[in-house]
Chains A and B, each alone.
Chain A
Amino acid sequence: MHVLGLIAYVSGFLSTALMLGIACMGLNMQWGKTGLFNVGVAGFMGIGAYTSALLTTPASAGAISSLGLPIVVGCFGAMLVAGLGSLLVGALTLRLRTDYLAITTFGAAVMIQLVLLNATRYTGGALGFAFIPRPFASIADQPTLFAVLTLVLLALIAFGVYSILEQLVHSPWGRVLRAIRDDETAAISLGKNATVYRLQAFGVGGALMGLAGALQAHLIGFIAPDDFQASLTFQIWAMLVIGGSGSNAGALLGSIVVWGIWSLTGIVTGSVFAAEDQARAAALRIVMIGVLLCVVLVRRPRGLLSER
């Protein structure tokens, strides 16, 4: 039984890491491949999570939505809405200075957080959104099998996203993106419209963040505005920078490493600190990740797996 518990735990851990890895690959499409700085990752994940939740949650007592569509529809809906949202933000700012994109995405995340909190009719407000359907819910009474099957599903999705992205990166489209990132003037002089390509990359990245958000909603079955705060954006950034920006494999590896550090330190602080100090312990973990991020930026700016 002990072994089964461990398997369930590790599967749950890896499922979450892969879910975050998908968002991280989305960020890699924006930052690593195109050089677009998005500080609102958590906001776009939030859009995805709430979109899918609204689309898929069946009618029941206390449920906010009653559409009850299949989870697959919810995931695609999440990608569509989050992708369109990032296209909108991108269209407003991509032609301006790079820092303005960072500031605007930051603002967008604040605004999204505000809407999630205040549009109580559709989001449940601060209390959160419950009764979101989970895959394999029919076997939820067998926790180990449930966790393993969920992990297999997540791994398939993550691998699918990875393969598609690798295809894209090595396609002519991906080469143009790289050319724009490395030497914009040269790319423009070859007749490539830099803004349009950037916008496309930004939209694809946003859609992936939306997908990750939707998966988070379906993994846990419950979401709240607090799940999509700036600290989540920060974790995804740490994953990409530590894993190696520019590389999709690095993004996935970084997600597993950083989420591993996060979970392990959580176990340690959970056993060392008393219950009333847990909020402070969580702060300590963020300090650690923040310092790690800054050290990697200064010492090893290319991360663990850099772009070939």
Chain B
Amino acid sequence: MDGTLAGAMIALGAIGVTLTYSVLQFSNFAHGELISIGAYITYLIAAAISAAVIGSSEALAVFSFGWNVLLAGGVAMALTGFLAWGLDWLLFARLRAKGMAITLVMASFGASMALRAMLELVFSSRPLYYTQELQIARAIGAGILVTPDQLLLVAITATLVGLLYVMWAHTALGRAMRAVSENPALAQVCGIDVPRVVRVTWYIGGALASAAGLMLGLLVQVRPQMGFEMLLPLFAAAILGGIGSVPGALCGGLIVGLSQAATVQFIGAEWRAGVAFVILLAVLLIRPNGLFGRRS
């Protein structure tokens, strides 16, 4: 169950990575920081709501957190989406205009470092928590233990991914995004508003990252490093699934999450972070296009 949950979280982030990669043609090293930023925005808004509305932070039904956290999570998704777009406008769009693809990767690495340090500067590296309550896991049969929080989070992820897939596969916007990812110049000639597609891509990536941040924050804690530590699993999942494939990123995320849980179980918790690298190497060696990837 821990693996599924971690997998759901990784999948949310990996979808963002795979979208930016396929539409904008670069691997965004700052994606992890979008996760952290989303988590911190959620924290701030949740704290503001609970200060403004008495009782809003009281635990909701069977869950360990109040409705303030859920509402804050939604608002934070919108804000982080804007922020991702703002980062593009401020930095990446200028470099794209100069036509230096790999410089974008470097700039994203610099931005990642700067954003993470900025979070540490403002919030210090002390971990924060959305809720102080502890939950008791219940058995749901077959020897599996879950908490109500975990079930809710898996459901939220499934909904988000489902909505996104419908958008990507069946709407005009999704078609435009796929067209830009295959050939930006041709898409432009066909009358697709490429800047708008780029905007939407960043927006979706940021919003999903924020949702992943909320989940990570609820399950573990909110720290400036939280997103950066997720980065390697995100890349591994996106490449395993095949760059540009939403279902691929979902499967990739689940596989990486489950392998991490298995590593903790059978090898030792200290090697957990190494699993993503091993999977990454295996994919690059055996099937560089990923499970669902197009042949390049």
Known contacts: A104-B280, A231-B113. The answer to whether A37 contacts B285 by CB under 8 A is no
Flag whether B163 is at the interface (Cβ < 8 A): no
A108–B277 CB distance below 8 A:
yes
B113–A107 CB distance below 8 A:
no
Inside 8 A of B95's CB, which chain A residues have their CB? 297-298
CB distance from B28 to the nearest CB of A (A): 10
B102–A287 CB distance below 8 A:
no
CB distance from B40 to the nearest CB of A (A): 14
Central interface residue in A107, A284, A291, by most chain B CB within 10 Å: A107
Flag whether B281 is at the interface (Cβ < 8 A): yes
Which one, A108, A231, A237, contacts B106 given CB within 8 A? A237
| Segment 8-51 of B: residues with Cβ below 8 Å from A | 21, 26-27, 29
Inside 8 A of A99's CB, which chain B residues have their CB? 21, 26-27, 102, 105
Binds A, one of B114-122, B183-191, B192-200, B215-223: B114-122
Q: From DSSP, what is the main secondary structure of chain B's interface residues?
A: helix
A286–B113 CB distance below 8 A:
yes
| Segment 234-285 of A: residues with Cβ below 8 Å from B | 234, 237-238, 241, 279-280, 283-285
Inside 8 A of A100's CB, which chain B residues have their CB? 239, 284, 288
Tally inter-chain residue pairs, CB-CB below 8 A: 119
Count the B residues whose beta carbon is within 8 Å of the partner chain — how many?
46
B232–A106 CB distance below 8 A:
yes
Inside 8 A of A103's CB, which chain B residues have their CB? 27, 235, 239, 280
Known contacts: A290-B114, A291-B114. The answer to whether A230 contacts B120 by CB under 8 A is no
B102–A37 CB distance below 8 A:
yes
Which one, A106, A230, A297, A301, contacts B113 given CB within 8 A? A230
In the complex formed, the residue of A with least CB distance to B121 is A283
Binds B, one of A44-52, A109-117, A137-145, A188-196: A109-117
Q: A98-B102, A102-B105, A298-B95 are in contact. List 19 more A-B contacts (CB 8 A).
A: A92-B281, A99-B21, A99-B27, A104-B284, A106-B29, A106-B231, A107-B280, A110-B232, A110-B274, A118-B271, A230-B113, A237-B110, A279-B120, A279-B124, A280-B121, A283-B120, A289-B113, A291-B114, A294-B111
Instruction: List 28 A-B residue pairs with CB atoms under 8 Å apart, sorted by A's residue number.
Output: A35-B102, A39-B109, A93-B284, A100-B239, A102-B29, A102-B102, A103-B239, A106-B29, A106-B232, A107-B232, A107-B236, A107-B276, A110-B273, A111-B277, A118-B270, A231-B113, A283-B121, A284-B121, A287-B117, A287-B118, A290-B113, A293-B110, A294-B107, A294-B110, A294-B114, A297-B106, A297-B110, A301-B98
